[in-house]
Amino acid sequence: MQSIKVQCPAKINLTLKVVNKRPDGYHNIDSIMQTIDLYDYLSISVEKSENFEIILSGNNPEIPYDSRNLVYKAVELFFSNTKLSPQKVCIDIEKNIPIAAGLAGGSTDAAGTLYGLNKLFDEIFSEKELHNLCAKLGSDLNVCLAGGCLRTSGRGEIIVPEEYKSYNVRLIKPIGLGISAKEAYTKFSSKMEKNVDVNSRDFYANDLEWAIIDDYEKLKYIKQKYKSSMMTGSGSTYFSLEEDFHPEDGYWVNNNLKTVDCGVSVCEQGAVLTSALPV
């Protein structure tokens, strides 16, 4: 059996503009994304088996540990693009990134899975091929794989490096409030079609914040109390590069984060990686 431990960073959207709706139902965006030092950790082990088997576990009861999980889908995608012999794959997910929070928690875990498996199998895929797999699976995986400060387009899978700058990052999220990308983009489209308060859109650096903030009192409360704050992704997390958030009931707060110039990577501690697995 071979094993590896991978750290998977969250991301924030420094800007997010929705360009248009695509024929496939997704939206083209223009966004600057930045990875931060809030990490999930994946403990991945693989061993030869008579049949392919995927076993997921973790510390967060709110996420599924079956085929609905992007990590599970990443394992399937990885092996479906190889001629490797059947393997038993076990992945334990240490979840520290809040879910449905606009921080790419699911995407970064999926990118980390592809990255970790590629390391275990002696980098069977090139960096470009790994990015192609990421693009097939979701919108933010390429950002989490590459890391740093990136300008993104398309669905978010087209990335171009921007100048990296070190910032202190603070996060605040209403506890129990998760917002899906589908909800946020649907509400954005609806507002645009109905021409609802379109002029105020320019006030927001994140178009999805403009689309949903009026529907959630807790988001309006954050925006009113912390003038420098901005929603990341489809929410419900807000970040600030300028001021601390005050701990209070009903909100998760972390004022001790920084930007990082890397994406998913092998942990310095706890990694066990020797020779490539037999094919």
pLDDT digits (tens, 9 = 90+) for 23-39: 988 899 999 999 999 99
One-character DSSP codes across 97-154: SPSSSSS-HHHHHHHHHHHHHHHHTT--S-HHHHHHHHHHH-SSHHHHHH-SEEEEET
| Catalytic position from the list 5, 11, 187, 191 | 11
Please state, in angstroms and rounded to a whole number, the distance separating the CA atoms of residues 106 and 109. Answer: 5
Q: What are phi and psi of 39, to 5 degrees?
A: -120, 140
- Any idea how long the chain is? 279
Structure tokens at 161: 């490096």
Question: What type of residue sits at position 20?
Answer: N
pLDDT at 54 over 90: yes
SS3 274: coil
Please state, in angstroms and rounded to a whole number, the distance separating the CA atoms of residues 26 and 20. Answer: 9
Q: pLDDT for 194-217, tens place per residue?
A: 998 898 999 999 999 999 999 999
Domains of the chain by range and CATH?
2-163+261-266 (3.30.230.10), 168-258 (3.30.70)
Please state, in angstroms and rounded to a whole number, the distance separating the CA atoms of residues 147 and 169. Answer: 16
This prediction's pTM: 0.94
Q: pLDDT for 148-167, tens place per residue?
A: 999 999 999 999 999 999 99
- More confident: 130 or 276: 130
| Residue 11 appears among annotated catalytic residues | yes
| Catalytic position from the list 73, 140, 191, 207 | 140
Range with the lowest mean pLDDT among 89-103, 104-118, 124-138, 255-269? 255-269
